[in-house]
A and B are shown apart, each in its own frame.
Chain A
């Protein structure tokens, strides 16, 4: 069974940085892209970017470029989302999601989500 398990909820202060992990299992990690999606409180889904774990090539949404970094550690089949210079407006739920095939495709499955609260 393919599973994506994310790290736990975080409470951060403005200006701090954060790394969220997404540990995968049940498939060959380097054969599928990992995407990251943001959901602000009470709002819809926003695609942030994706990474190809095979070659670490990344693509970011212009809305998030420069504010987030996506990386992987192939040795432990884990993807990461790095957020820097956090603001209260970064408070959101963040999801990782696997693209089952290489190239443009849908997301399945999704991680359970990581809630990030940024507050002074």
Chain B
């Protein structure tokens, strides 16, 4: 099974900051990686697919990068609506797996 490891687990930042979350796969997953945002009490929302493709309707301040085993999600200028938990997910092979999540908090 492929293990996905996110870092950091918690990130404190301020509005306007540029932040980057890292996701590492235990083996190569090519570009089969998605990023989701989840707010308390809500379902996850797709942000990025194929490692770097921005989902329609998602603000351009979100971007994804990477391939193989190392991936990043960057938010170029944090907005109040961005404080949430973020998950990466590999869909290269079964069983699909998620990172443990990164909680983005207001500093």
Q: Do residues B100 and A44 form an inter-chain contact, with CB atoms below 8 A?
A: yes
Determine whether A90 belongs to the interface, using a CB cutoff of 8 Å to chain B.
Answer: no
Question: Which residue from B34, B38, B93, B101 sits with its C-beta under 8 Å from A106?
Answer: B34
Chain A proximity of B9: nearest CB distance (Å): 10
A100 nearest in chain B by CB position: B49
Q: Which of A58-107 contact B (CB under 8 A)?
A: 59, 61-63, 95, 97, 99, 104-107
Question: Which residue from A45, A47, A107 sits with its C-beta under 8 Å from B46?
Answer: A107
Determine whether B55 belongs to the interface, using a CB cutoff of 8 Å to chain A.
Answer: yes
Q: Which residues of A contact B87 (CB under 8 A)?
A: 44-45
Q: Do residues A108 and B89 form an inter-chain contact, with CB atoms below 8 A?
A: no
The digit string for B23-39, where 1 denotes a CB below 8 A from any CB of A, is 00000000010101010
Determine whether B67 belongs to the interface, using a CB cutoff of 8 Å to chain A.
Answer: no
Question: Which residue from B43, B93, B95, B96 sits with its C-beta under 8 Å from A112?
Answer: B43
Interface size on B, residues (CB 8 A): 25
A47 nearest in chain B by CB position: B96
A106 to B31, CA, bound (A): 11
Determine whether B12 belongs to the interface, using a CB cutoff of 8 Å to chain A.
Answer: no
Q: Do residues B44 and A45 form an inter-chain contact, with CB atoms below 8 A?
A: yes
Chain A proximity of B102: nearest CB distance (Å): 10
Q: Which residues of B contact A109 (CB under 8 A)?
A: 43, 46
Q: How large is the interface on A (under 10, 10 to 19, 20 to 34, 35 or more residues)?
A: 20 to 34
Q: Which residues of B contact A53 (CB under 8 A)?
A: none
Q: Interface of B with A (CB < 8 Å)? A: 1, 32, 34, 36, 38, 43-46, 49-50, 55, 87, 89, 91-101
Given pairs A44-B98, A105-B91, 12 additional interface contacts (CB within 8 A): A45-B98, A47-B89, A47-B96, A47-B97, A59-B94, A95-B44, A99-B91, A104-B32, A105-B49, A106-B89, A110-B43, A113-B43
Q: Interface of A with B (CB < 8 Å)? A: 35, 44-47, 59, 61-63, 95, 97, 99, 104-113
18 cross-chain CB contacts under 8 A: A35-B96, A44-B100, A45-B87, A47-B96, A61-B94, A62-B95, A63-B95, A104-B91, A104-B92, A104-B96, A105-B49, A106-B34, A106-B49, A106-B89, A106-B91, A107-B34, A108-B49, A110-B43
